[in-house]
Structure 1
């Protein structure tokens, strides 16, 4: 019999409360392993300033006015 089958049989002999606790503990262990092996998440703040040189020579208010005027056709 495989280890998995043995563990499953042992889990079936537990009370429902113990089974729930086992599930919670296993979930916690799995989450920790996934967190340790997953790639670090990025923050939107890493994009701060990206492309700012494009806007150097453009007046912000004039740009907004032109965009608003284009809405009306």
Structure 2
């Protein structure tokens, strides 16, 4: 018997109330994991799109933007 099957057999022995409580706890655990995985760091964007600026002088660009 696999772990999954064993757990399922055990859950089936619980009362419906206990099954619902367990389901709520498992749902909360999964939601926390999803939120944690979705959080991103701003540092992940470092260097993104840098190829766009390769042939552009940064100071010249800023000066141009200031005068427009």
TM range (shorter): 0.5 to 0.7
TM-score of the superposition, structure 2-length normalised?
A: 0.56
Give 1 or 2 for the bigger CA radius of gyration: 1
Matched, 1:16 2:4: no
Gapped runs of 5+ residues in structure 1?
A: 41-52, 58-73
In structure 2, the gaps of 5 or more residues are 41-64
Task: Name the Cα RMSD after superposition.
Answer: 1.4
Distance 1:33 1:39 in 2: 10
The answer to which structure has the higher helix fraction is 2
The alpha-carbon deviation at position 17 of structure 1 amounts to 0.1
- Offset at residue 35 of structure 1 (A): 0.5
TM-score, with length taken from structure 1: 0.53
**Runs of 4+ deviating beyond 3 Å:** none
- State the Cα distance separating 1:39 from its structure 2 match: 3.9
Counterpart position of 2:35: 35
